[in-house]
Amino acid sequence: MFKGFEPVYDSRSQILILGSFPSVKSREVGFYYGNKQNRFWRMLEGVFEEKIGDSIDEKKVFLYKHGIALYDVVVESDLSGSADLSLEKSKFLQADISFLLPPFTKVAAILCNGKTAFNILSKSYCGKVPIALLSSTSSANPKYNFAEWKKAILKLIPQNSGSTHTK
């Protein structure tokens, strides 16, 4: 079984972005969206018009600063490759996300990065925080839509909010 990553969040997190499970490349790098072809970090740079450093610590600081919590719906899986379509057919352990939601944080919405994350979460989630399905930022997704990501994030955290998250 392969293990996923620890969640990145603090008590002031306002948006929870849920992926499915780390790709092989991300597991090699040791952090979320480690495949340089994935659009995730470039998408956040575009939304906030701010450069994100390459180190894990710089990425975490960016997430805290902008009120973004990051986690995956699967914390452990026997998936040997990276294909999300195979993940739903693999043996996996679903994440408990309750500690990432109010009253422990200020999360007002869960944004699922792709259909697999949304499908897995939807099967068991019965919380009050709304869930949104957004296009996967994977380079394998030809239907990726930057505009929908920007709209969803800025609706919850306006760019000029002056958010100054630090852990």
Q: Quote the pLDDT of residue 77.
A: 82
Fold classification of 2-156 is Uracil-DNA Glycosylase, subunit E (3.40.470)
Query: Sign of dihedral through CA atoms 38, 43, 49, 52?
Result: negative
Q: Quote the pLDDT of residue 86.
A: 59
Beta partners for residue 69, in sequence order: 16
Q: Quote the pLDDT of residue 89.
A: 64
Q: Quote the pLDDT of residue 124.
A: 87
Q: Quote the pLDDT of residue 133.
A: 97
Q: For the chain, which residues make up each domain, given as ranges?
A: 2-156
Indicate whether this model's pTM tops 0.85: yes
Q: Quote the pLDDT of residue 90.
A: 64
Q: Quote the pLDDT of residue 162.
A: 45
Give the integer Cα–Cα distance in Å for 96 and 119.
15
First to last CA, the chain: 31
Question: Per-10-residue mean pLDDT for the chain, 167 residues long?
Answer: 92 95 91 96 97 97 97 85 60 91 96 95 92 95 96 82 44
The 15-19 sheet, strands edge to edge:
68-72, 15-19, 109-113, 131-134
